[in-house]
Amino acid sequence: MSSTSSEQHSTEKTEAYYVPSQSIWPIVGAVGLFLMAFGAARWIGGGGDQYSWVLFLGSVVIIFMLFGWFGNVITESMSGMYSAQMDRSFRQGMSWFIFSEIMFFLAFFGALFYARTIAVPWLGGAGNNAMTHEVLWPQFQAHWPLVTTPGGITTTAMPWQGLPLANTIILLISSVTLHFAHINLERGLRTQVKLGLGLTVLLGCIFLFLQAEEYIHAYQEMGLTLSSGLYGNTFFLLTGFHGLHVTLGTIILFVLFCRVLKGHFTPAQHFGFQAGSWYWHFVDVVWLCLFVFVYIL
């Protein structure tokens, strides 16, 4: 066997790797997820509204778990128990988590592309599907945005000018402010860090507010809803899941902000900050793809 690649970092470690002792948080998390899943499923599945309380309870348990678990991690980290190798584990773990998120969005983008380039044109008779068109919905005209479905639901398409454009700009700026915070953290300029991070959180909130406005507008004035055919489906699921990620990202950044206020993070060691900022940049990139493929094109 030859030894070709990756010798670099397998040779340098001598420090002992920190293996945490037992923890109750994983099982609390598992119970929380179970309650959430069970509550949501029974509620959605027609079991009755009382199950929404199970969902709620599950969420409370999860929040409790997050506090406890991250609390432990922060304490351990602050007391210097994490070696450089441990830090790499966290970084790599976070990167792979983001990769999995990308793949999740890819499923929905895939659905969008498939529908636009294959499903809808075929329903309109493209390719060798003349008879599909003739037999199923002869009056249907293939077009995108799909404002009239084969079944006859009509809706309107969301223009990209206005709120979506504003939101794009907001997220782009937020990426810059966050980067500003990051650079200054590495330089040890804490006031600038607070400023940059605070602004980013604020921009995140504004984004979410505008997004909510856009949804209200869509539902009340444009007749664009989750159930108005494939255009509405892809629109709301893509922007909706993105919105959820922005919400989560904003919360993460807010927590980081509080931690900066408490004096956490050093120029050399700030994986938590790094992870939060990676997450935020990822969410931004997803939005750019959304803006191009859902709104403009």
Q: Is 110 in the site for another protein (CB under 8 A)?
A: yes
CB of 274 to another protein, least distance (A): 16
Report the distance separating Cα 68 and Cα 89, nearest Å: 21
CB of 138 to another protein, least distance (A): 14
Q: Which is nearer to another protein, 118 or 292 (by Cβ)?
A: 118
**Binding test (CB under 8 A) with another protein, winner from 57, 78, 119, 255:** 119
Residues 69, 29: contact at Cβ < 8 Å?
A: yes
SS3 of 22, please? coil
Q: Is 203 in the site for another protein (CB under 8 A)?
A: no
Residues 152, 219: contact at Cβ < 8 Å?
A: no
Site for another protein in 127-146 (CB under 8 A): 127-128, 136-137, 146
Site for another protein in 80-99 (CB under 8 A): 85, 88-90, 92-93, 96-97, 99
| Cα–Cα distance list, 74 to 81, 84, 208 (Å) | 10, 15, 28
Q: Is 149 in the site for another protein (CB under 8 A)?
A: yes
**Binding test (CB under 8 A) with another protein, winner from 54, 77, 108, 224:** 108
* Lookup: tokens for 215: 């949804």
Q: Which stretch binds another protein (CB under 8 A): 111-119, 163-171, 179-187, 196-204?
A: 111-119
Site for another protein in 227-246 (CB under 8 A): 227, 229-233, 237
Q: Is 3 in the site for another protein (CB under 8 A)?
A: yes
Report the distance separating Cα 172 and Cα 176, nearest Å: 7
**Binding test (CB under 8 A) with another protein, winner from 114, 188, 216, 248:** 114
Residues 150, 123: contact at Cβ < 8 Å?
A: yes
Q: Is 20 in the site for another protein (CB under 8 A)?
A: yes
Q: Which stretch binds another protein (CB under 8 A): 17-25, 179-187, 191-199, 273-281?
A: 17-25
Site for another protein in 247-286 (CB under 8 A): none
Report the distance separating Cα 54 and Cα 297, nearest Å: 41
Number of residues that bind another protein (CB under 8 A): 79
Site for another protein in 41-60 (CB under 8 A): 41-42, 44-46
Report the distance separating Cα 266 and Cα 198, nearest Å: 18
Q: Which stretch binds another protein (CB under 8 A): 101-109, 163-171, 261-269, 279-287?
A: 101-109
Q: Which is nearer to another protein, 3 or 161 (by Cβ)?
A: 3
Give the x-and-dash track for 169-188 against another protein (CB under 8 A).
--------------------
Q: Which is nearer to another protein, 115 or 171 (by Cβ)?
A: 115
Q: Which is nearer to another protein, 132 or 247 (by Cβ)?
A: 132
**Interacting residues of 241 by C-beta distance below 8 A, sequence separation 6+:** 104, 105, 108
214-242: b (≥16 Cβ within 10 Å) or e:
bbeebeeebebbeebbbbbbbbbebbebb
In angstroms, the first-to-last Cα distance of the chain is 52
Q: What is the CA radius of gyration of the chain?
A: 24
* Lookup: tokens for 91: 């970084």
